[in-house]
Amino acid sequence: MNRKPSLLRLLAAALSVALAMIGWTALPAAAAAGPNLAAGRPVAVSSTTDVYGGGNATDGNPSTYWESANNAFPQWIQVDLGAPAAVNELALKLPSFWETRTQTLSVQGSTDGSSFTTLSASAARTFNPAATITFAGATVRYVRLTITANTGWPAGQLSEFEVYGPGTGDPQPPTAPGNLAYTEPATGQIKLTWTASTDNVGVTGYDVYANNTLRGSVAGNVLTYTDNQPGSATVSYYVKAKDAAGNQSPASNTVTRTGSGGGANLAAGKPVTASSYVHTYVAANANDNSVTTYWEGAGGSYPNTLTVELGANADVSSIVVKLDPASVWSARTQTFQVLGREQGASGFTNVASSAAYRFDPATGNAVTIPVSARVADVRLSFTANTGAPAGQVAELQVIGVPAPNPDLTVTSVSWSPQSPVETDAITLSAVVRNAGSAPAAASTLAFSVGGNKAGTANVGTLAAGAATTVTANIGTKDAGSYPVTAKADDGGTVVEQDETNNTFTGTSPLVVKQVDSSDLVAAPVSWTPGNPANGSTVTFAVAIKNQGTVASAAGAHPITLTVANESGTVVRTLTGSFSGTIAAGATASPVTLGTWTAANGRYTVKTVIADDGNELPVKRANNTSTQQLYVGRGANLPYDTYEAEDGVTGGGAQVAGPSRDIGTIAGEASGRRAVTLGQTGAYVEWTTKADTNTLVTRFSIPDGTNSTLNIYVDGSFLKAVDLTSKYAWLYGPEASPNNSPGSGAPRHIYDEANVMLGTTVPKGSRIRLQKDPANTTTYA
């Protein structure tokens, strides 16, 4: 198979009734090289398969991956960089152990997440296991890959989605434009003015946004923009400055021109739910800006409700309900009530009493209901429809203007000291601004460093237009480059005009430099033979590497190695020492520590390098390291195998074998022994070695039968596992067996059944397979 599959199907090698349990160990994330702008950033995708979600593509771990729905091209994956950034190169990766494949894809970029331009045209890209794409520099916030073909698997696949910008240049954005205001010099014209931004190099232009969409741009020496809008339209504007390097400033204050028509449609694209739906006519169809799709409630379930969440209070002047105006829709009358919920209320109240409304394609198949209400949610409650057995809506429009509310944004982040080393305690700072039209209550800001939450800060009440600086001490950090993100109102306690603009990511990363110190690690720890069998004499050797910036102290560097079994008991301790100075970046000669006689099982090899005299305390944590060692038959796979004959039996269960006769219960078992459950109450039981939620049973039941076998955990019934003989039992010569019992002796009499337990069974629990009265055959 070309795709590397996840180990969802566990193969237990038990004789007759064998148990496999999963105890997964997370792989360490690989360190990203260079200023990867996408590291830890949010990802959106067109679809996913199973557990292979989009977040795997920016988690820094090349062994996890995103996979789209199969056999459904085209597919896309998109990363949000958090703020517009200059980009010119992508590094796309697949797991290193996969076969080479070609994926046909194009690269698009966007500043707003809705209007995309092509950065690199569609082409076949060879992944072996990575592909690098370079293109002319562009300033974007969103980068999208659209995949149309894959020679290795019928889906889009990506383990790491890395985005890079120019290696040099100006990383500092301009300041936000100030004092944005507007006038209306003529009918249909809106003239914006603002005060100039400043920049360390120079402002090259300003981008003007209307209702969160780029409307136009002007040069850096122009501080005005005239827009043409109908008098009925309500439009909100803000302006951002930019420089030659593509850096974009935070937004200016927002100004809103309220139109004479009572506002804009506030419901488009907002969260929408329904009490029920039929077939594919889901609630989301009701505000997708298309009258060719629609919501329909389930028949016979009146009242049907359809609810749209505006996110914050709005002053609503009318409700528009539409059906498809195509002539194939017959005229109908729908009876419904309009209700609303104010943002501080827990329940809905009446906005427009229930009435019968006529929908007719000849007149547009729509109704407009004048209202006057301040609400955050709008609900339609249907009680009758002469054209269908439930309510129907192609488009629900809520016409109005945002009510006064705060709008918390973060305009900048910084840190002190500006160039820290690993021993420096770091203080993060963020400027929080209320860009809304009403005061903001006290809230909390969260700092994230490298995609992980690092600290919080309290933000006091903020008047409309006011700003404040908050700080958090996050302690020390390991050497590396970290994107720093601040999110205002992290707890979601403040109802805002715009809940989508709370997050800001710094344009340059926090770079922590390595402190001057030795830094000793065990690299490598090795043993011979590399895959020991039971009874093998295993020889251990350790080399000490100094990955620090200064040489180690002279003299002895003691080494202690222990081998511990699965219960944590140390079964062997070995010691040794390397004498002498180890230069910065150098690895000393390996030290042979001694031997151990291997026994079947899983072991943890722990190596401890003694603290070095030139090694600061901050560099000593990695002096201790662990590795896993497996002794036994076959490969070391991430599940536990339990042989039936090694379990506890009772209730009349019998151990069969040993035997090597083909076609017998014992002879075809993995260890040539098996347990038979031939009477009610017979059972076999094991104690789990690790937490598990999955059971795979290798079993044999008589040919031509189907049955179940009951599973108990710590004496309590959990569930039954379904068994069938349909895919087992062949007869005749080994070279040409068939399904006819008259062809000769039986063979291949075992099969496997797997079941999700539906809960996590803790380590140390007793799992029992038992034949009960409901289990109607004999088992082995």
Residue among 246, 151, 145, 149 at smallest CA distance from 204: 246
Same domain, 31 and 159: yes
595 pLDDT exceeds 90? yes
In angstroms, what CA-CA distances link 437 with 86, 211, 265?
Answer: 32, 16, 20
539: tokens are 């020889």
Same domain, 335 and 446: no
- The total number of structural domains in the chain stands at 6
Residue 287 has φ and ψ, to the nearest 5°, of -145, 40
Residues 6+ apart with CB under 8 A from 32: 39, 60, 162
pLDDT tens digit sequence for 187-212: 678 899 999 999 888 898 999 999 88
Q: Which of 368, 402, 436 is the last residue of a domain?
A: 402
Res 24: pLDDT: 30
21 lies in a domain?
A: no
Q: Identify the band that residue 17 occupies on the pLDDT scale cut at 50, 70 and 90.
A: very low
CATH of the domain at 690: 2.60.120.260
- Among 427-441, 711-725, 733-747, the minimum mean pLDDT is found in 733-747
CATH of the domain at 190: 2.60.40.10
379 lies in a domain?
A: yes
> Are 575 and 593 within 8 A, CB to CB?
yes
Instruction: Tell me what the mean pLDDT of segment 210-232 comes to.
Output: 87
Instruction: Tell me what the mean pLDDT of segment 288-305 comes to.
Output: 93
Same domain, 270 and 394: yes
Amino acid identity of residue 303, one-letter, is P
Q: Which residues are paired to 66 by β-bridges? A: 158
Same domain, 66 and 111: yes
540 lies in a domain?
A: yes
7 pLDDT exceeds 60? no
Q: Compute the 3-state secondary structure of the chain and give helix, strand, coil in percent, each to the nearest 5.
A: 5, 50, 45
160 pLDDT exceeds 60? yes
| Distance separating alpha carbons of residues 657 and 15, to the nearest angstrom | 10
Same domain, 206 and 220: yes
579 pLDDT exceeds 80? yes
16 lies in a domain?
A: no
Which CB contacts under 8 angstroms, 24+ apart, belong to 723-726?
Answer: 723/697, 723/699, 723/751, 723/753, 723/779, 724/751, 724/753, 725/700, 725/701, 725/751
Same domain, 45 and 152: yes
Alpha-carbon torsion (224, 229, 232, 237), positive or negative: negative
698 lies in a domain?
A: yes
Same domain, 328 and 268: yes
**304-322 vs 272-274, strand pairing mode:** antiparallel
> Are 652 and 684 within 8 A, CB to CB?
no
Q: Identify the band that residue 169 occupies on the pLDDT scale cut at 50, 70 and 90.
A: low
Same domain, 309 and 388: yes
pTM here? 0.48
136 lies in a domain?
A: yes
> Are 286 and 304 within 8 A, CB to CB?
no
Q: Identify the band that residue 171 occupies on the pLDDT scale cut at 50, 70 and 90.
A: low
513 lies in a domain?
A: no
Same domain, 553 and 433: no
Same domain, 160 and 30: yes
155 lies in a domain?
A: yes
**Residue 489 structural domain:** 408-502
Of 230 and 432, more confident: 432
523: tokens are 């690299």
Res 690: pLDDT: 86
46: tokens are 């067109």
Same domain, 735 and 671: yes
pLDDT tens digit sequence for 330-371: 999 999 999 999 998 999 999 999 999 999 999 889 999 999
Q: What is the CA radius of gyration of the chain?
A: 34
Same domain, 488 and 539: no
